Amino acid sequence: MSIRETILAQIEEVAKSQNRKLTALHDGVVLMETGLDSLCFAILVARLEDELGFDPFSTSEDASYPVTLGDFIKFYEDAA
């Protein structure tokens, strides 16, 4: 499974487990408009670390954070 596929699958699992309704997921959607809240994103990042074996947020020296889903996926892909 690719990083993109893993991220999308985990987003759907987190949303389901937290009873959140997702908007249509596409690269341009703003992360805070996906239907996930901050707790969901914390769970997502923890699950992705388990699945992918790394956490780009803890190793990144870049002060900027992803804004869109596409940015989020690219952030993970670039860190791999």
CB-based contact 72:31 (threshold 8 Å): yes
pLDDT in tens, 6-54: 999 999 999 999 999 999 999 999 999 999 999 999 999 999 999 999 9
Q: What is the DSSP string of the chain?
A: --HHHHHHHHHHHHHHHTT-------TTSBGGGSS--HHHHHHHHHHHHHHHS--HHHH---S----BHHHHHHHHHHH-
Please report, for the chain, the start and end positions of each structural domain, with discontinuous segments joined by +. Answer: 3-79
Provide the 3-class DSSP secondary structure of residue 76.
helix
Fold entry, domain 3-79: 1.10.1200
Q: 60 pLDDT exceeds 90?
A: no
